[in-house]
Chains A and B, each alone.
Chain A
Amino acid sequence: MTFADSASVALGLAIALAAYGSAAAIVGYFRLLPELRRSAEHAALAVAALVTYAALVLFGLLLTHQFGVAFVAEVSSRTMSTRAVLSAFWGGQAGSLLLRTWVLTLFCAAVVLVHRRRDRELLPVAMASLCVIEFFFLLVLLVSADPFTRLPSPPADGQGLNPLLQDEAMSFHPPLLLTGYMAFAMPLAIAVSGLVTGQMGISWLRALRRWTLVAWTIQGCGLLAGAWWAYHVLGWGGYWGWDPVENVALLPWLVATALLHSLMVQERRGMLRVWNVTLVASAFCLAIFGMFVVGSGVITSVHAFATSSVGPLFFGFLSVSMLGLVALVAYRLPVLRATGQFDALASRESAFLFNNLLLVAVVVATLWGTIFPMVSEVVRGVKMGVGPSFYQQVNAPLLLALVLLMGIGPLLAWRRTSLSSLRRLLTAPVLTALVVWSGLILLGMRQGLAALAFAACALTAVAIGVEYSRGVRARQRGGERLLQAIATLVVRDRRRYGGYLVHLAIVLIGLGIVGSTFQTTSEVSLTAGQPTQVGRYTLTFAGVQPYQGAGYQGVMAGLVVGAGNRQIGALFPDRRVYVHWENQPVTGVAILTSRPWLDDVYVLMTGLADDGTATFRVFVNPLVSLIWAGGFLFLIGGVILFWPPKRARPAWRAVQSGKAIHSEA
Chain B
Amino acid sequence: MDVQHPAVVSDLAAPPGIPAARRLPSLKLVVAGIAALLVFVYLITTAMGTSTVYYLTVGELKAKGAASYNTPVRVGGRAGDGSILSDASTQTLRFSLTDNTGSLQVVYKGVVPDMFGYAKDGHYQDAVVEGMLRPDGVFQASQIIVKHDASFAAADAQATAQAGSLPANGKQQSR
Contacts and interface: CB of A to CB of B under 8 A. Distances in A.
B88 A607 contact: yes
A394 B45 CA distance: 9
A3 interface: no
B5 interface: yes
Nearest to B57: A383
Interface stretch (B46-54, B62-70, B100-108, B133-141): B46-54
A92 B154 contact: yes
Contacts of A394: 43-44, 47
A8 interface: no
Contact of B74 (A340, A385, A393): A385
Contact of A201 (B12, B23, B115, B162): B12
A398 B40 CA distance: 9
Given A178-B158, A384-B53, A521-B172, A339 B46 contact: no
Contacts of A338: 20-21
Contact of B11 (A159, A203, A306): A203
Contacts of A337: 14, 20, 22
A226 B172 CA distance: 20
B114 A587 contact: yes
A404 to B, nearest CB: 15
A562 interface: no
Contacts of B171: 236-238, 241, 388, 519
B12 to A, nearest CB: 6
A422 B20 CA distance: 30
Contacts of B55: 300, 373, 383-385
Interface in B132-175: 145, 147-148, 150-172, 175
A616 B47 CA distance: 34
Contacts of B115: 164, 584
Contact of A226 (B23, B112, B158): B158
B1 interface: yes
B156 A30 contact: no
B154 A308 contact: yes
B166 A304 contact: no
Nearest to A238: B171
Interface string A316-336: 000000000000000000011
A120 B126 contact: no
B158 A243 contact: no
B132 to A, nearest CB: 13
A379 interface: no
B165 A230 contact: yes
A372 B21 CA distance: 40
B162 A30 contact: no
Given A200-B11, A365-B44, A390-B48, A174 B88 contact: no
B1 A96 contact: no
Contact of B114 (A164, A305, A664): A164
Interface in B19-56: 20-23, 36, 40, 43-44, 46-48, 50-56
Interface string A229-244: 1100011111001010
B3 A34 contact: yes
Given A34-B2, A304-B153, A306-B153, A237 B172 contact: yes
B167 A121 contact: no
A393 B1 contact: no
A96 B153 CA distance: 13
A302 B128 contact: yes
Interface string A586-619: 1100000000000000001011010000010100
Interface in A36-89: 37, 74-75
A16 interface: no
A197 interface: yes
A90 B159 contact: yes
Interface of B: 1-6, 8-15, 18, 20-23, 36, 40, 43-44, 46-48, 50-56, 72, 74, 88-89, 91, 111-112, 114-115, 117-120, 126, 128, 130, 145, 147-148, 150-172, 175
Given A304-B126, A386-B52, 13 more contacts: A32-B3, A96-B156, A197-B6, A201-B12, A236-B167, A236-B169, A243-B164, A243-B165, A338-B21, A385-B74, A393-B50, A615-B88, A659-B10
